[in-house]
Each structure stands twice: as C-alpha cells, then as structure tokens.
Amino acid sequence: MEVKNLVLEDIHLAMGAKMMPFAGYNMPVRYSSDKEEHLAVRENVGIFDVSHMGEFYVKGKEALDLIQYVTSNDASKLFPGKIQYSCLPNENGGIVDDLLVYKISDEEYMLVVNASNIEKDWNWINQHNRFDAALENKSDDISLFALQGPNAIKVLQPLTDVDLASMEYYTFQEGNIADICSDAIISATGYTGAGGFEIYVENKYASAVWQKIFETGKEYELKPIGLGARDTLRLEKGFCLYGNDITDKTSPLEAGLGWITKFSKEFINSGSLKAQKEDGVKRKLVGFIMIDKGIPRAHYDITDDSGKRIGEVTSGTMSPCMNVGIGLGYVPVDLAKPDTKIFISVRGKQLEANVVKLPIYKG
C-alpha cells in the first residue's frame, strides 16, 4: 500500500519528529521523548497532528436512519452540536470500527473513523445504505489537530470567537481560527483524558492553523506530541484502541462498551448482541496494574494463579504517570472484578497483576 504524507510532513520533520508509517500514513511517532510528551499533555498542553483519521459526511432525509442502522449507540439522542462515541457492529458479534458521530443538523452528520479502517468502513456503510442518504468521504481533504491538556483552552481561546469555556464535553461548534478560516470544527473531545479540543480544518488551512496555534502556545510551552504518547495517554485512561482492544472478533459488550450499545433501536446484529447481554458475556476487557516488576505487552498470555491460560493482554505499556506496568486484556467474567489477582506471562515468568476499575490512571 502506498504510504501517504500528512500536509504538515515538512513541518513535523523540521520540529524533529521521528516519522513512521502507521495506518497508511507517515506519522510523527515522537518529537523528543515519549515520556516528556506524555507528561506535557497530562500537566500542561500538547498538540497532535492526527489528520490520518477519516471523516465521512452523511447527508439526506434518512441520514439518521442509516446511522441508526450501522451504529450501536442511539444517535436519535443527538442534537446539533452534540457528539457521540459509538461503534459499527459487524454481523458476527464483533466490531468493524469505533467512531465518533457528529450531528451537524437533522440532515447532516459527520462520522470520524480510524485511519486504518477508512476503506473498510466506507465500503461497509455504503453496502448497508438502503436509505435516502448520501455519503461523502472527506478523509483526504480534512486535517485534524488534537490540542490536549489542562492548558489547551488558554492556547486556543485567543484564536477563536467560540466561547470555549462554555463548551461541554462531547460538543462542537463551527468557528474561526484567527483570520485564517471561519469554518473550523472545534470539538471538545480527545483521546487522552487530559481535556482539550480537536480542531478540524480543510487541508489548505492546516499549516497556517498549526503555526498560529504554536504562536499563542509559546507562552504555555506548547509541545508537539507523537503517536507514542497518544497511545500511553489513552491506555492510562482505559480507552480502547481498535485493532488491539476491540477487533472484528470482540463484542462491544465484552469490551465494556455496553454504554454505547443501545437496544432501544434496531441495528446490525442487535438481535444477537441483545441475546448476549441477556445471557451474560463470558469474558470481559479489564484494566490491570502490575504488582511484580515488568511491563505487559499486547499478546502476552494472562494466566490464573495455577498458571492456566485465561486470556490475553491486548494493550500494555509502562505508565509514564504511575511509573508501573499497566495494561488491558480479556479475562473470564469471574476474574474481571477489581482487585482480582491475575498473572501476566512475561518471557516465561508469571508476574502478578491486579485488576482495577477504569480508568487505570485516576489523575
């Protein structure tokens, strides 16, 4: 597959980024240090170029009907300016992708999907579009920056007329970024648990917007942040990563996404997911913290105290904020309760870990 470059490729390189192919794009993985970047976002402010993410527009009289059919959450609850986390269930009990649904108006929505799944999702949704709804894939035209951290608002507010302090979590507004553009989507969302905003702009404005944000960000020591820190930030908060923690073989109910799986409506595979909910799931995705010294990694075995394999780690790292190994993984439901002792098989050794309630990092 051809690897695409971000609009800001040269700017990232000039800022010292180490670039690596990810989901079909050359992406900044790290500028200085994963840990420093991680802590900058938790304690101060950082900005990610996540323009690899996909954006689909759904328009038409039956736009909502299509979205209701392909997604698991109840999009009828949305109002213009409201965002919803959701997923696309497949027909076999698994997940095609997780996504955000933005309601722009009664007849217009934006779906934000994972870069690695753009083509798959596009084909999937089109294949199920038996509604009066037109789909447009704007993924190649839109750049997305995530300005995250407790000081994100201070960096962004001087650049826009949108009153950021009044914005509730998971809402968005269209507004200006300085005098560069008037139609940016400013969204009170993110994948870090550190607060902040995501800013969608047309590619032609991307460089100017990025540079302008760094001008006001200078006072707050704004740092560019790579995908490495993005992964550790989301993992500390227990946010699922598609391809790791949720896949085409994991049920949203097993993954702890029951809260976005609403049986108040019909959707793809809702019948069997409902039955699964009534019968109870057999395994669950849990967060855990290492008690023994060691770092869990994706695909390491999880065992019980007798050494019997009971599941698999789906994401793991050393937590920069807690300075201890943390992870997510699937275990049988009877071992999924907080404070259950489980063991992670690291290079042939069984290391003790403790199941915890999410988020893993409470700070």
Q: Kindly list the residues in this chain that would bind other proteins in the complex (CB under 8 A).
A: 29-30, 33-35, 38, 228, 231-232, 293-295, 297, 317-318, 320, 347
Overall size of the chain counted in residues: 363
Q: Nearest distance from residue 12's CB to other proteins, in Å?
A: 16
Adjacent-strand bridge partners of 291? none
Calculate the alpha carbon distances from 163 to 47, 151, 158, 173, 174 in Å. 20, 15, 10, 9, 11
Q: Nearest distance from residue 3's CB to other proteins, in Å?
A: 19
Q: Two tokens at 149? A: 């951290």
E-strand stretches of 107-205: 108-113, 134-137, 142-148, 172-177, 181-187, 196-202
CA dist., res. 11 & res. 236, Å (int) = 29
Q: Nearest distance from residue 34's CB to other proteins, in Å?
A: 4
Q: Two tokens at 30? A: 């790290």
| Residue 195 or 325 with smaller CB distance to other proteins | 325
CA torsion through residues 259, 265, 269, 271, sign: positive
Adjacent-strand bridge partners of 187? 172, 198
Sheet holding 25-30, edge to edge: 4-5, 25-30, 18-22
Given a contact cutoff of 8 angstroms between Cβ atoms, the answer to whether 103 and 109 are in contact is yes
Q: Nearest distance from residue 330's CB to other proteins, in Å?
A: 21
| Residue 94 or 193 with smaller CB distance to other proteins | 193
Adjacent-strand bridge partners of 345? 350
Given a contact cutoff of 8 angstroms between Cβ atoms, the answer to whether 10 and 16 are in contact is no
Given a contact cutoff of 8 angstroms between Cβ atoms, the answer to whether 57 and 140 are in contact is no
| Residue 172 or 288 with smaller CB distance to other proteins | 288
| Residue 224 or 320 with smaller CB distance to other proteins | 320
| Residue 223 or 284 with smaller CB distance to other proteins | 223
Q: Nearest distance from residue 228's CB to other proteins, in Å?
A: 5
| Residue 292 or 334 with smaller CB distance to other proteins | 292
Give first-to-last CA distance, the chain, whole Å: 40
Q: Which residues neighbour 331 within 8 Å (Cβ) at sequence distance 6 or greater?
A: 283, 284, 286, 302, 310, 311, 340, 342, 355
Q: Nearest distance from residue 20's CB to other proteins, in Å?
A: 10
Q: Nearest distance from residue 226's CB to other proteins, in Å?
A: 9
| Residue 196 or 228 with smaller CB distance to other proteins | 228
| Residue 137 or 317 with smaller CB distance to other proteins | 317
Q: Nearest distance from residue 318's CB to other proteins, in Å?
A: 4
| Residue 83 or 351 with smaller CB distance to other proteins | 351
Adjacent-strand bridge partners of 285? 330
Q: Nearest distance from residue 287's CB to other proteins, in Å?
A: 18
